Amino acid sequence: MTSKAIAIVAGVGPGTGAAVARRFAAAYPVVLLARSPENYESLAKEINSSGGKALGISTDVSSPESLKQAFAAIEQEFPNAPIAAAIFNASGRFVRKPLLELTLEEFSAGHDVSVKGAFLFSQLVLPNLVKHAEDSSAKYPPTLIFTGATASVKANALMSSFASAKFAMRALSTSIAKEFAPKGVHVAHAIIDGVIDIPRTREWLKDAPPEAKIGADDIAESYWNLSTQGKRAFTNEIDIRPMLEKW
Amino acid sequence: MTSKAIAIVAGVGPGTGAAVARRFAAAYPVVLLARSPENYESLAKEINSSGGKALGISTDVSSPESLKQAFAAIEQEFPNAPIAAAIFNASGRFVRKPLLELTLEEFSAGHDVSVKGAFLFSQLVLPNLVKHAEDSSAKYPPTLIFTGATASVKANALMSSFASAKFAMRALSTSIAKEFAPKGVHVAHAIIDGVIDIPRTREWLKDAPPEAKIGADDIAESYWNLSTQGKRAFTNEIDIRPMLEKW
Amino acid sequence: MTSKAIAIVAGVGPGTGAAVARRFAAAYPVVLLARSPENYESLAKEINSSGGKALGISTDVSSPESLKQAFAAIEQEFPNAPIAAAIFNASGRFVRKPLLELTLEEFSAGHDVSVKGAFLFSQLVLPNLVKHAEDSSAKYPPTLIFTGATASVKANALMSSFASAKFAMRALSTSIAKEFAPKGVHVAHAIIDGVIDIPRTREWLKDAPPEAKIGADDIAESYWNLSTQGKRAFTNEIDIRPMLEKW
Amino acid sequence: MTSKAIAIVAGVGPGTGAAVARRFAAAYPVVLLARSPENYESLAKEINSSGGKALGISTDVSSPESLKQAFAAIEQEFPNAPIAAAIFNASGRFVRKPLLELTLEEFSAGHDVSVKGAFLFSQLVLPNLVKHAEDSSAKYPPTLIFTGATASVKANALMSSFASAKFAMRALSTSIAKEFAPKGVHVAHAIIDGVIDIPRTREWLKDAPPEAKIGADDIAESYWNLSTQGKRAFTNEIDIRPMLEKW
């Protein structure tokens, strides 16, 4: 007998991560991974008190040990549960600086989360996704989604840290997509091209109409749609931008 | 008072076009444009007899006159109807040949339908889409979708006619997307990367499992999802391939 | 006995075409194709009077008949001459306009020259290039170069005509490159990303330093370098921009 | 008074690095950086005994300390020398493996050299390149070239380590190019798409003709041509492949 499938969201903050968690919570128990409890506590409460099920776990996705502990906790709470969807939404600190002013640590910050973290997270979820893909009772092919950015395809001046990390994560996503699609796992990369409307960006574009920013709920809906595609129509990359974005 | 919104599918054949028409017919009256009545007659009958509404019109999308007549017929049947979604799915004859063996006519065949036709069709639907975008009663932003192919981004040997036409159509789609997004119109381009499972391709990959081909219904579902995105999350390009596709 | 190899430049005007012709005239007799004699007359005189050899021919590259006549004239002047380098530098009228204001003729103008013209020109030079590639006395692999633009890879608003034509030409170039490389022909596409410093652009960026514009002679030098690459290192695409260009 | 300009090649082995060093040694004293002396000793001897000047330094480009020592040695040998060209040709160990079999160390190996190393090397050469760019006696704009690979733009299955590192390096190159072009520094990225003909690859494609592999000397010639471009025509990316390569 198969346990109920779950969804895991790595990188839950007040924006995309939370919206994605809410959206997937309508269908699955969700696991919320974030560095600090304040990023998931109220969200977990909200989901748990409104008919869903959420488990928050403090996790540093760039640490193999921290991730291993998180997955042990997931296994304890949801033993043998197939993962229907795993969303890697974590992102390192954003450092916009002239190249000659960057410390090695600042330059590497993007890599630690977006590349190393994405790699470690993928290694932990993929065996489960492959197994779930062979499970004929699964409603949709199991899905692994990576959240990218403008910088995933465009490397601007002063953005060397973020862009090199995001380019690398996109390559990782594509390589995994090609290796695991034949095993039935759906891997997708989303280029989020614009400012997401979250508390932290409230002051940005503040005189512009709402359509100048991306709605986190809208991203979540697009992720949900990706996760429900069948084996005969995998989308491996989408871009998402608000209607007023210049590109 | 606003008339009920309609959807228009240009290029209705036994594959993607028909599936897209069926999917959008669940929400809107649909107009089916195809060069020959045999491409839409049974489909129109099927939709009309199962609770939907379909109007088939013989149209050559590469002819300004033919397109104008088609749109006059649409206006007569659905006066003042906003267009909720317009899908350009027409494609010229496919000629795979060494460059030196191509006649100018063969080389140009791709262009006539995929570029000139897409341009003419866009000019006819866009004024309506812009008007509809300003209509606050519209449920979703009006959407214009172009069906591309592997050859939209990859120009292989012997594919000069098809690839140059598909590259051009993709450029047209992007240019229109950028010009009309600020007016509230959602324009998307789909890279269909693989063999679609239709009667004509029955003999291809016939020893492969069903997941080696793209399901036309799955494409239609993805188009539907594109057409329901809000103004704060437009996807302008997706790729679609079956899980067993090499890419 | 082999005749002396020649170079052919299609699209000779006061900018890139003239500079390319001058550069290749240092090594080969050059054929100058341009719609109007005023585009090549003084240049031909200049080359012929300074030790080189140039033949100007009035040609409409979008017309099969006009091109055929031009190549007959070339054959008469340079019988059996191998073509060492053929440069397609012609470009249609540039129309920057809202999509809904474009006539079909305006939209198609880009295609007629950049796509149809490039196709026709390629069909006429390739048999010679293939033959020349097998000729062991050739110093360098014969080379076919297409002049592209920013719009070859970026389709901005209001640029649908130019961008769709340039995307198409790039696809044509790549398809030909892949088909003819195994036969020893080197095909390259140049993305000229910026304003070229020619009389017509004198008023543009006029308060900016010279490094804000591309030097036509510099483009010519890059084309020359492409044409001297050996069979073990073909470059199929380069971008060229001035140091002050934003990209 | 300005010292004679030098060139620095990071990542000197028996292939591209050595060929590039030989080519640039015809114009400049060259510095050869390689992890192990056996990679540069005979080359340095060869250059020094044939009229050129070469200085080999054992360097681990992924180590800030090692790089700093190398640049101190360079300053001692060539005090105040402007750097005319800096070529980053180092590449980490190549690990082709299923994602689930990669250790974190294996996955990160590509990053350490290709991304971290490229970043550290860039930070050390750029202040000199900027200064040299302002020096009116310089013959060509100072140039920084990064050696990429097929995996810089194509992330295949089993290639997650190499591709993510090479994508990241390409982003780094572009970001630096955009930041430093206005300061007169020319930055270029080369996509080496194919097998380079070096001792290590002797057994690969061994029944194929020589044109199935890339000549290291040909790459070197292309790098030289990049380094001689003027400020009005910077090429920021080239691809290089042998004529028999499928792409």
Q: Is B94 helix (H, G, I), strand (E, B) or coil?
A: coil
Provide mean pLDDT across the span B190-199: 95
> Which chains touch D (3+ CB pairs under 8 A)?
A, C
**Per-residue pLDDT tens over the stretch C48-72:** 999 999 999 999 999 999 999 999 9
Cα–Cα distance, A105 to A107 (Å, whole number):
5
SS3 D237: strand
Backbone dihedral angles phi then psi of residue A31, each to the nearest 5 degrees: -105, 130
Q: Does residue A246 fall inside a structural domain?
A: no
Residue D173 has pLDDT above 50, yes or no: yes
Q: Which of A224, D55, D157, D124 is nearest to B221 (CA)?
A: A224
Structural contact between residues C247 and C44, judged by C-beta atoms closer than 8 angstroms: no
- A164 by DSSP, 3-state: which? helix
Which range marks the domain in which residue C216 is found? 6-240
Count structural domains, chain D.
1
Q: Maximum CA pair distance of chain C? A: 58
Residues from chain C that touch B172, judged by Cβ atoms under 8 A, are 155, 160, 163-164
Whether the predicted pLDDT of C233 surpasses 80: yes
pLDDT tens for each residue of chain A, 247 residues long: 458 999 999 999 889 999 999 999 999 999 999 999 999 999 999 999 999 999 999 999 999 999 999 999 999 999 999 999 999 999 977 789 999 999 999 999 999 999 999 999 999 999 999 999 988 778 999 999 999 999 999 999 999 999 999 999 999 999 999 999 999 999 999 999 999 999 888 888 888 999 999 999 999 999 999 999 999 999 999 999 999 999 9
Give a yes or no: residue A247 inside a domain: no
Strand, coil or helix: what is D223? helix
End-to-end CA distance of chain C: 49
Asked if residue B245 is part of any domain, the answer here is no
Dihedral (CA of B195, B198, B203, B207) sign: positive
Q: What is the tens place of the pLDDT at every residue in C184-229? A: 999 999 999 999 999 888 888 888 999 999 999 999 999 999 999 9
Q: Return the beta strands (E) in D100-202 as ranges.
A: 143-149, 186-192
Nearest-angstrom CA–CA distance, A218 and D135: 53
Share of residues in chain C with pLDDT > 90 (%): 90
Query: What is the average per-residue pLDDT within B39-55?
Result: 97
Q: Rounded CA gap, B56 and B72, in Å?
A: 13
User: Rounded mean pLDDT of D38-46?
Assistant: 97
SS3 content of chain A, % helix, strand, coil (to 5): 45, 15, 35
The letter for the amino acid at A2 is T
pLDDT on residue B199: 87
Name the residue facing B233 among A236, A240, A247 (closest C-beta). Answer: A240
Q: Is the pLDDT of residue D22 over 70?
A: yes
Residue C229 to residue D222: CA distance in whole angstroms = 8
A56 and A73 Cβ atoms separated by less than 8 Å: no
Please identify which residue in the block is written with the tokens 């639907």.
Answer: B125
CB contact under 8 A, A218 and B236: no
- Whether A59 is in a domain gets the answer yes
Tell me the pLDDT tens digit for each residue of D197-231.
998 888 888 889 999 999 999 999 999 999 999 99
Nearest to residue C175, comparing CAs of B103, B153, B240? B153
For residue D137, pLDDT over 90 is answered with: no
Specify if A29 maps to a domain: yes
Q: What's the token pair of residue A144?
A: 């692994």
Reported confidence tier of residue B138, pLDDT bands at 50, 70, 90: confident
Whether residues C242 and D221 touch (CB distance < 8 A) is answered with no
* pLDDT at position B14: 86
Q: What is the ipTM of this complex?
A: 0.97
Mean pLDDT of C132-147: 92
Buried b (16+ CB within 10 A) or exposed e, B198-209: beeeeeebeeee
Q: What is the pLDDT of residue D2?
A: 58
Cβ atoms within 10 A of the Cβ of B154, count?
A: 18
Q: Using an 8 Å Cβ cutoff, are C220 and C23 in contact? A: yes
- b (16+ CB within 10 A) / e for D157-187: bbbbbbbbbbbbbbbbbbbbbbbbbeebbbb
A243 with B182: Cβ contact below 8 A: yes
Mean pLDDT score, B144-159: 98
Angle between helix C160-180 and C104-111 (nearest 10): 30
Answer yes or no: pTM beyond 0.95: yes
Contact indicator for B147, B89 with CB cutoff of 8 Å? yes
pLDDT > 50? residue C1: no
- The answer to whether residue C246 is domain-embedded is no
> Which of these, B131, B135, B6, lies nearest to B77 by C-alpha position?
B6
User: Quick check: is D246 in a domain?
Assistant: no
CATH number of the domain residue C58 falls in = 3.40.50.720
Q: Do A104 and D98 touch (CB under 8 A)?
A: no
State the best of C175, C185, C236 to mutate against chain B, taking most chain B CBs within 10 Å: C175
Predicted pLDDT at D1 = 43
* Subunit contact B99:C160, Cβ cutoff 8 A: no
The whole-angstrom separation of Cα D15 and Cα A125 is 40
With beta carbons under 8 A apart, name residues in chain C contacting D205: none
Contact criterion met (CB < 8 Å) for B115 and C168: yes
Instruction: Answer yes or no: are the C-beta atoms of C50 and C29 closer than 8 Å.
Output: no
A169: in domain: yes
Say what the pLDDT of residue C2 is.
Answer: 58
Helix axes A104-111, D118-133, angle to 10 degrees: 130
**Mean pLDDT over each residue of chain D, to the nearest integer:** 96
On the CB side of B176, CA atoms within 13 Å amount to 34
CA B160-B161-B163 angle, to 5 degrees, is 65
Read off the amino acid at residue D229: Q
DSSP string for residues in C171-238: HHHHHHHHHHGGGT-EEEEEEE-S-B-SGGGTTTTTTS-GGGSB-HHHHHHHHHHHHT--TT-B--EE
Of the candidates A97, A131, A95, A108, the one whose C-alpha atom is nearest the C-alpha of residue A2 is: A131
What's the pLDDT score for residue A93?
A: 75
Asked if B5 and B74 touch (Cβ cutoff 8 Å), the reply is: no
Q: How much is the mean pLDDT over chain B?
A: 96
Nearest to D239 by CA among B166, C7, C186, B170: C186
Residues of A with CB under 8 A from a CB of B: 141, 178, 181-182, 184, 186, 197, 210-211, 213-215, 218-219, 221-222, 225, 229-247
Q: Do B115 and C164 touch (CB under 8 A)?
A: yes
Give D38: exposed, middle or buried? Use CB within 10 Å, 0-12, 13-18, 19+. exposed
Tokens 């491996």 belong to which residue? A236
CA dihedral of residues C216, C217, C223, C225 (deg, nearest 10): -150
Region of residue A81 (phi > 0: left; psi between -120 and 50: alpha; otherwise: beta): beta
B38 to each of A82, B52, B66, C135, how far by Cα in Å?
47, 19, 17, 54
Q: Name which of C16, C14, C8 is nearest C222 in CA terms.
A: C16
